[in-house]
Each structure stands twice: as structure tokens, then as C-alpha cells.
Amino acid sequence: MILEKYAKQYTIRSYECDCNNNLRILTLMNILQDIADENAGLLGFGLDFCINNGLTWVGTNYILEIDRLPKIHETIKIVTWPSARNKLSAYRDFEVFGEDNKSIIKATSEWALISLARRRPVSVIDNLPIKDIVEFRAIDTDFPKIPEVEELENQYKFRVRFDDIDINKHINNAVYILWACEAVDSQFRLSHNPAKISINFKKEGFIGEKIMVVTEQKSANSLHSIRTYGEDERELARVQIEWK
């Protein structure tokens, strides 16, 4: 079997756009997750496979490079493929093409396969029914560590909502980008869009927990530490955004 990239068209709906008629970042992330799940299912290691084997996929890293965001009513093409693999990680890449068929977004992600019973990673190589990959990376990276936030004055606090939780009963990966973007000044965002987003996922977060997004912004770059506070304090994710 020769593995090929998986492609799907998607038309941007009005309610999926922000006040500038651009596709919302949260919706973009959900669309990428949706096509990834669909492709994984077709390849035999999607949701049904995981449920039947007591496993789940958990994201550990994400990088997106955004030339521009899709516009309202634009029909885009999304392409995804499993791009690399080692013992404890699987890599999945994406590319989004605009209505003019030009590449507008590239993304790469790293995932761990987790035993639900033990809540610990298991071997990707030993537990997947398919071994093939498409040996091409949309973004050639080893997911460098995002630096710590040093200035702690800018804090945005709230609680994890029911709608922030996914089928694994923890915070959905896409929500972390939303929280980081929401921590940036709204007037700045009216004239700026993300050009590059990097995420390091660190710990699970759960419904009802108190969340604090600590933000350090220097010109067109913002750095975010997303953490719980109160009785159980831990860092859940770091996000770095380059704006344009």
C-alpha cells in the first residue's frame, strides 16, 4: 500500500468568521482536528480503533505558519497526512489552499498515543495497525521549547467551561490558542492576524479549574503561559504567536 495525502474541500460559513470576515483561529484548529480524525479513521487508527483498544491520541506540539486566513464564503482545500513517526510520537502535517489554489496555511503537529487505563504513553510503533507515512513535512521542525514568560503582570483569569472539554474529558487542544489570542489587546487584534503560532502542550486541564493566562508582548510577538492557579498550580501549555 502506497500512502497518499488526504484532501477535502470546505466552505467557510459566516458564523465561523470574526469581525474582519476572517476564519476564526479556533474554528481553523477544529477543522484541522476534524480532517485529521477522518483520515486516521480511514487508515485504521482513528477514534473507533482507539476506543476498542483503550487508547487515545493527545497532542504534544503544534506549529502553524499562516500566510493569510480564509475569508467568509471562501471554498478552501485542506490536505493532511501522517508525516513521521518514532517510538513515542506520531507526526501529522497539514496544508490549506485558498480558492485560487495557492497555499495559505501550513501546519505540523506531534501526538502521543496514551493508554486510558494507565494515563501514560505507549509505543506508537508497536500499537498502530499501519506503519506507512508520507515522508514529507509541511514545516521542517523538531518543535523547539517555547521560552518561559518572564513578565507576570498581564494576567487573564477565568474558569474552564463545559464546552472547553473534549471526548477525553480534558481541555481541547484548539482552546489553548483561543485563550492565548484572547489575552492580547482587542485593539491590537483589529489590525493584526497571527502569522505563526507555536504551542507546547504540557499538562491536562479539566472542567471547572481556575485558569490564568500570563502574557508577555513585545511589539508583534506575544508569549503566553497557560496555567492553573489556586490549590493545584501547574502549567498546562505555552503559546508563542508572531503577529502581522
Closest to 25 in 3D by CA, of 85, 69, 84: 69
pTM surpassing 0.85? yes
Is 233 contained in some domain?
yes
16 shares its domain with 94: yes
What whole-number distance in Å separates Cα of residue 214 and Cα of residue 199?
14
- Flag the least confident range among 14-23, 137-146, 149-158: 149-158
Query: Is the same domain home to 109 and 179?
Result: no
Q: Are 81 and 184 found together in one domain?
A: no
Task: Give the pLDDT confidence of 23-74 residue by residue, as tens digits.
Answer: 999 999 999 999 999 999 999 888 899 999 999 999 999 999 999 999 999 9
Do the domain assignments include residue 168?
yes
Q: Looking at residue 44, which CATH number applies to its domain?
A: 3.10.129.10
Q: Is residue 144 in a domain?
A: no
Tell me, yes or no, whether 12 and 115 share the same domain. yes
Q: Rounded to whole angstroms, how far apart are CA atoms 159 and 144? A: 29
CA angle 38-171-34, nearest 5°?
15
Looking at the structure, tell me whether residues 112 and 222 fall in a common domain: no
Higher pLDDT, 112 or 151: 112
Query: Helix H segments across the chain?
Result: 25-43, 47-52, 124-127, 173-182, 186-190
Looking at residue 34, what is its pLDDT?
Answer: 95
Answer yes or no: is 231 within a domain.
yes
Same domain, 42 and 113: yes
Q: Are residues 19 and 105 in the same domain?
A: yes
Residue 11 and residue 121 in one domain: yes
Name the residue range of residue 204's domain.
Answer: 155-243
Residue 148 domain flag = no
The number of distinct structural domains making up the chain is 2
Do 119 and 80 lie in a common domain? yes
Do 20 and 91 fall into the same domain? Answer: yes
Confidence of residue 128 (pLDDT cuts 50, 70, 90): confident
Specify whether 122 is located in the same domain as 37. Answer: yes
